[in-house]
Amino acid sequence: MCDAAPTVISFLDRDHSILAFNERVLDWAHRPGVPLLERMRFLTIVSSNLDEFFEVRAADHLTAAQAGELKGPYTVGSFDALAAAAHKLVEKQYALYNDELMPAFAKEGIDIVSNGDRTAAQKEWVHEYFESDVRPLLIPVGLDPAHPFPQVANKSLNFIVRLSGKDAFGRENEIAIVKVPRVLPRVIPMPAKVAGKKKLFVSLSSVIRAHLGLLFPGREVGQFSQFRVTRHSDLAVGEEDVRNLRTALRLGLQQRHYGQAVRLEVASGCSEYLSSFLLKQFNLPPGALYRVHGPVNLARLQQMIDLVDAPQLLFPPFRAGYPRQLVPGRPIFEQLQRQDVVIHQPFESFDGVLDFLREAVHDPQVLAIKQTIYRTGNDSQMMELLREAVRRGQEVTVVVELKARFDEEANINWAEALEAIGAQVVYGVVGLKTHAKMLLVTRREGSALVRYAHLATGNYNPRTAKLYTDISHLTADPLLTADIEQVFVHLASQSRLPKLNHLWLAPFHLQRKLVEHIDLVGMAAAGGLDARIVLKMNALTDEPLMQALVRAGQRGARIDLIVRGACMLPARVPGLTDNIRVRSIIGRFLEHSRLFYFRAGHEEQLYLSSADWMNRNMLRRIELAWPVNDPQQRQRLIDECLVAYLHDSRDAWDQQPDGSYKRVKGAEGPHGHSAQEALMQRYAAPPGEEEMRRWT
């Protein structure tokens, strides 16, 4: 069904596409119409995103540069180009912070007061705070043959100091390191007695900087700088070589904070002597050095956002309505016997999913509950409900993905807690991450066993369910729930997977099925039929799928791609991708839902999925895609998740043929259509709904 030879096209660079996505996020921090604390929040989000980018994506480029590689995907040139783009983005962040955000905060009576701007009373209070809360936790380390450069943890705050004079033993060891414990807050509010009517803060780095001399009695502090090193943090555990993956990951987590250094941040005034000294210690080239005009970790300014009590500087609070399709107080199992239920989060509340599981846990007719766990967080209502199910004697099987990046420790802890009380805990398939989101309930109804299921495009995490757009699908469809049962059996027993009715499963046939459907639409277009593809996802980097889209577009299919982040497929390139448009939506909520729409003539299909179109999702993960067969449900999702986003004129960016993005025409004004805002208005909880639900 596929063409014999792939279409010749140059794809865009993935890493530069990720940085371009963060440029679009940073744009929200630039917008004067966005509440001031929210602008700061978007700035911190970009900083956090960049941290993860360096932790995961930078090491290969750096290693290639250090080895002098000139050919291949990672080279001296790729490192230099990526460093240049990253430096440019960081410079924009700090220019925004210093030139726009902090002056705007000052007008609101909110400020982070530097040592030079503090009054005498404020300096006295800061000194008392330093002596009581900070100094007891600091242990300066003077470097000499007996005290080598200390281990510096990933993303921790530190100071390097150059001293004159001699130490207590008459030696002239001039370099000292001060490691700052993570337990100390990075932003400290001043009390009203020294702040007056303003809301004033001091940064921890400023507190320490003002008192460095007290840490080295008898020595004179000369040059100094705060610094922060970012390390490669993608855990690599050879699963084939370990007997116990959980134990191996525990050991790996202990080493994560001390992996290969990939980025060094220092204060803008750091001397060449000290910066060169640090680069040598961390074995980094000059391109990995970032001189910043402010705190070395903007992400920690999230603390200030949480401390400022100024609702007028935040988005108006949004309270999601209870899912429209669910009737509060009526058994959800009974409702699912009549029709499937689709929940559009965060506009509709995740409470519907929690209520489904809660009902299952407390129903004496429920015999078994099976669930996949990818990212639930440390404080999870769902995990507590599963523990309650075990205590009530239900058979609970949990497929825990231990290698969910940066959630490994939380998942290990939950796995151990569930296993300790008798749940069946399995870790999926060796070599594959279990990224599928599914929850299956088996219930006795008369003489029959009936299954009910929840499938989702996002994680079982009540916190992110308020921040990410996702689709939850509750169903009692016997064919679909039978497929889910087979997938759970496969994950637990690793037995051969039988033919499935509705589910497409990676790594077995998800990619192949997608290519087949793309090609079917392309052939329909070539035959003169109406042919349309609309896809919504977070990333598009898988080459076979991109090649298939190019083929379909060249055959005449109209293709719209709504890709939030990295997209390697260039749009509207003359003679190659004329019929393909790429759009990115960056809104108040993080776009996270995955929907795939195919129309060939009169036949249309809509699939929901846990998978982005990346090679790892197609070939190295357990992923699901499933159809929405009910015509009304399908049309609702098409209207809300696809059509509305294609007509967004407030939060949308269109990709240009060179891979750059431009905000859509009219997006600069306040009156354009925002898909997210329209959905918020449609689904917001009416006054008193929560009280009514509790009463019901």
Contact 612, 514 (CB under 8 A): no
Question: Which of 165, 178, 285, 279 lies closest to 224, judged by CA?
Answer: 178
- What would the two tokens of residue 232 be? 């490669």
Amino acid symbol at 479: L
Contact 37, 101 (CB under 8 A): no
- What would the two tokens of residue 615 be? 């090679």
Cα three-residue angle 494-499-500, rounded to 5 degrees? 95
| Distance in angstroms (rounded) separating the CA atoms of residues 164 and 158 | 20
Residue with tokens 């357990």: 622
| Distance in angstroms (rounded) separating the CA atoms of residues 356 and 354 | 5
Amino acid symbol at 241: D
In the annotation, is 61 catalytic? no
Contact 544, 510 (CB under 8 A): no
* Phi, psi (rounded to 5 degrees) for 622: -90, 110
The DSSP element (H or E) to which 409 belongs, if any, is helix 408-420
The end-to-end CA distance of the chain, in Å, is: 55
Q: Tell me the C-alpha to C-alpha distance, in Å, between residue 675 and each of 427, 649, 671.
A: 38, 9, 12
Exposure string of 522-531, with b = 16+ CB inside 10 Å and e = fewer, is bbbbeeebeb
**β-bridge pairing 661-663 and 448-456:** unpaired
Q: Tell me the C-alpha to C-alpha distance, in Å, between residue 28 and each of 48, 494, 525, 664, 667.
A: 15, 46, 39, 14, 12
Contacts of 586 (CB under 8 A, 6+ apart): 24, 25, 27, 28, 564, 651, 653
Residue with tokens 């006795």: 444
- What would the two tokens of residue 412 be? 């290990």
- What would the two tokens of residue 154 be? 């990933």
* Phi, psi (rounded to 5 degrees) for 178: -120, 110
Chain centroid to Cα 502, Å, comes to 29
Spatial strand order of the sheet with 141-142 comes to 141-142, 175-179, 158-164, 220-231, 261-267, 289-292
What secondary structure letter does DSSP report for 151?
P
Question: Which of 512, 503, 546 lies closest to 618, judged by CA?
Answer: 512
Kindly calculate the radius of gyration of the chain based on its CA atoms and give it in whole angstroms.
27
CB neighbourhood size of 120 (10 A): 8
- What would the two tokens of residue 491 be? 């994950």
Maximum alpha-carbon separation in the chain: 89
| Distance in angstroms (rounded) separating the CA atoms of residues 44 and 31 | 15
| Distance in angstroms (rounded) separating the CA atoms of residues 243 and 96 | 50
Count of residues in the chain: 696
Q: Tell me the C-alpha to C-alpha distance, in Å, between residue 667 and each of 17, 71, 628, 641, 671.
A: 21, 41, 32, 19, 8
Contact 434, 407 (CB under 8 A): no
Q: Which of 435, 454, 490, 592 is an active site residue?
A: 435
Instruction: Please count the helices (runs of H) and the strands (runs of E) in the chain.
Output: 22, 27
634 in helix, strand or coil? helix
What residues are labeled active site? 435
